[in-house]
Chain A
Amino acid sequence: MTQAEINLCSLLLQEHFGEIVEKIGVHLIRTGSQPLRVIAHDTGTSLDQVKKALCVLIQHNLVIYQVHKRGVVEYEAQCSRVLRMLRYPRYIYTAKTLYSDTGELIVEELLLNGKMTMSAVVKKVADRLTETMEDGKTMDYAEVSNTFVRLADTHFVQRCPLVPATENSDPGPPPPAPTLVVNEKDMYLVPKLSLIGKGKRRRSSDEEAAGEPKAKRPKHTLDNKEPIPDDGIYWQTNLDRFHQHFRDQAIVSAVANRMDQTSSEIVRTMLRMSEITTLSNAPFTQPLSSNEIFRSLPVGYNISKQVLDQYLTLLADDPLEFVGKSGDSGGGIFGSRCARIFRLVLQKKHLEQKQVEDFAMIPAKEAKDMLYKMLSENFISLQEIPKTPDHAPSRTFYLYTVNILSAARMLLHRCYKSIANLIERRQFETKENKRLLEKSQRVEAIIASMQATGAEEPQLQEIEEMITAPERQQLETLKRNVNKLDASEIQVDETIFLLESYIESTMKRP
């Protein structure tokens, strides 16, 4: 794990779980697999806190444990899984586009809680949906269950590995840690539950809990005594499936950019047909005959078989092979002319200095300048082709070439650094204005409570004036900046996804 990745993980863990969990998590990422006492000793935290932190991390699938010989249990952190936390909004939004609000909330609850039983998810989502509905209406459990089943069928959620059922005849003390078993067949099998009920609206009297805590508040609103029918069967989101979906989307939009809408539809159909048949990280889909494609095209498209065949030939001949990167716009750091040169070298594989100038139609001096800039940043490399065995420089060809894999890795590394910078800047901005933010929160709270008790307009205005105009301005600026930084984070993560997918798929090729 590179330093940049570790740094980013640290920021993410801290934002989402607090400093203690961050300390433990980062320590594990840095040092690899370690047992409990060593962690406590090396990080200087109390055993109790280490245990709690590990429980949280394990619950969210960020740390796994393994039993080694002599009964020592070692814990290992999954750095790449921590980095996925950046992508949570994207997963949730995708679920929303595919399965509407119910799907969105199911995925959100699963991501927030790490793993949950189906009954717990259904109940929570129904409650949340009921809150947003009009008075008197409630959300039925059955509807939520249906959406859950659909998510499971399309593999967007999957079962967690199970604790094996222990037999009572097991002699000796129980093992120090359960060995979780992955049952491939049952991974998407939804347990038969008859969840009958409706979502409960949280009554306003319950919300008074802040002011009047009861001595013994019951944990669940349902009876405690009722055994949960699907106890022990936990579900988690299947991130790989989401990634597959993103990849398909990227491919389709790349084709649409390069050619036209119809060809992108064709590609989308092909991908949809191969969704279940192909493994998510296979380099090529299963071969599909044009007849099959023809039959599976969406209903609205009336293109004849011939036209379809033509399109398919076009797609097959395209040199870009629509994988990974799609075209860019603008040009980014080096400008659009540099981008032109870069694309040129990428396409032609190897070029001499003079050829670059000719093909790109850029004056020699500028071309030189740009090439060297890109060279110094390692986007382009030089390839030596000696004419003579002694590699004399005066008699060697020097060709410019792009090594995509290393360029991709380099870009990825830069992306990690950028996101870390974005997060740090956002935290800095928030901290700078902390006093002001707290003040505005207090004012809002006061206004809200006054409105609840029926205050008049002039009183409300008076309270609002507690925040002066320049302060309001400052708040506005802060909000704008934070939004921009957040949006940038999301988009850099998209690039990270593309680059990571590309690197992964390139490495797998034999």
Chain B
Amino acid sequence: MAGNKGRGRAAYTFNIEAVGFTRGEKLPDVVLKPPPLFPDTDYKTVPLKTGEGEDYMLALKQELRETMKRMPFFMETPEEKQDIERYSKRYMKVYKEEWVPDWRRLPREMMPRKKCKKDPKSKKAKDTGKVTSLTNTADVLKKIEELEKRGDSEKSDEENEEKEGSKEKSKEGDDDDDAAEQQEYDEEEQEEENDYINSYFEDGDDSGAESDDNVDEATY
């Protein structure tokens, strides 16, 4: 009862002077909306440090940024094909070194799986990918010819490998060919682009070898 100044009238439950307002003084406005996005600051900010060390670090930072973009670790997003091939794009392309991780340190599933195929290397001709040493079309055509020749002779090797059913990830004799790495990635990409099983288009003798190890009878 005492101290209650009547219903509906604002009465402070505590001693207002303790918080620093004198009685009867106008209180600050009630805030009704969220603070502005870019509030005005009454005071200027502390100026940036300057000095030899800071300048050097600044230069380093900008250099590092550029260098990182050129490293093989920077994975470019494949851009959409532009309707007109711009001249400037050709000479501004950056050639990156290939990077091969140390597979011994990584889980096995990291390695791109190399499926044995009948003629995988001819697909390389379509490769416009990030790391390639062949942009010269003449070279590409030459390479295709070479590979086709090689592809035929290697077919029998591939069949043997499949028969053993080994899951070895060992690379074949074309180890020192840079494109072998690229090719493995390509196979994966090609795999997922279409719905057909890879053996769909293969010749009769190949599929015969794949289906059954012990069957010697002819396929129909």
List the interface of chain A (C-beta within 8 A of B).
15-21, 36, 46-49, 51-56, 58-60, 65, 67, 73, 88-90, 92-93, 96-97, 108, 112-114, 163, 174, 176-178, 180, 209-210, 212-219, 224, 232, 234, 328-335, 353, 364, 368, 392-398, 438, 442, 482-484, 486-491
Contacts and interface: CB of A to CB of B under 8 A. Distances in A.
B211 interface: no
7 contacts: A19-B75, A89-B64, A177-B107, A177-B108, A393-B15, A490-B58, A491-B48
B112 A112 contact: no
A15 B65 contact: yes
B58 A486 contact: yes
B110 A55 contact: yes
Given A20-B77, A490-B54, 13 more contacts: A46-B188, A48-B185, A89-B64, A93-B56, A96-B56, A112-B64, A333-B41, A364-B20, A393-B13, A394-B15, A395-B15, A484-B48, A488-B48
A19 B78 CA distance: 10
Contacts of A212: 136
A234 B71 CA distance: 19
Contacts of B54: 487, 490-491
Contact of A58 (B47, B88, B106): B106
Given A18-B77, A52-B185, A60-B73, A176 B48 contact: no
B43 interface: yes
A55 B101 contact: yes
A65 to B, nearest CB: 6
Interface string B1-39: 000000000000111001110000000000000000000
Contacts of A216: 133, 176-178
Contact of A17 (B19, B74, B192): B74
B91 to A, nearest CB: 8
A20 B75 contact: yes
A231 B57 CA distance: 33
Contact of B136 (A213, A218, A329): A213
A18 B76 contact: yes
Which of the listed residues A17, A48, A163, A482 has the most CB atoms from chain B within 10 Å of its own CB?
A48
B46 A17 contact: no
A442 B136 contact: no
B170 to A, nearest CB: 13
Which of the listed residues A56, A209, A212 has the most CB atoms from chain B within 10 Å of its own CB?
A56
Given A16-B68, A215-B133, A216-B177, A334 B43 contact: yes
A206 B14 CA distance: 83
B110 A51 contact: yes
Interface string B152-194: 0000000000000000000000001110000001001100100
Contacts of A397: 18
Nearest to A24: B75
B123 interface: no
5 shortest A-B CB distances, which residue pairs?
A393-B14, A177-B107, A48-B188, A330-B46, A89-B60
Contacts of B98: 219
A20 B19 CA distance: 55
Contacts of A483: 58
A332 B46 contact: yes
B64 A88 contact: yes
B61 A19 contact: no
Contacts of A46: 188-189, 192
Which of the listed residues B67, B108, B176, B192 has the most CB atoms from chain A within 10 Å of its own CB?
B108
B101 A59 contact: yes
B126 interface: no
Which of the listed residues A67, A89, A113 has the most CB atoms from chain B within 10 Å of its own CB?
A89
A177 B68 contact: no
Given A46-B188, A209-B95, A398-B18, A174 B108 contact: yes
A53 B13 CA distance: 62
Contacts of B136: 212-213
Contacts of A393: 13-15
A18 B75 contact: yes
A213 B143 contact: no
B149 interface: no
B220 to A, nearest CB: 36
Which of the listed residues B18, B67, B139, B192 has the most CB atoms from chain A within 10 Å of its own CB?
B18
Interface in B100-124: 101-102, 104-112
B13 A394 contact: yes
Given A93-B56, A329-B46, A224 B75 contact: no
B53 interface: yes
B75 A52 contact: yes
B178 A335 contact: no
B125 interface: no
Nearest to B68: A16
B75 A17 contact: yes
A413 B54 CA distance: 24
Nearest to B15: A394
B61 A368 contact: no
Contact of A73 (B60, B102, B109, B192): B109
Contact of A213 (B13, B47, B74, B133): B133
B46 A180 contact: no
Given A55-B110, A219-B178, A163 B68 contact: no
B53 to A, nearest CB: 6
Contacts of B62: 482, 486
B42 A335 contact: yes
Nearest to A398: B18
A15 B77 CA distance: 13
Interface string B190-213: 001000000000000000000000
Contacts of A67: 107
A89 B74 CA distance: 19
Contacts of A488: 48
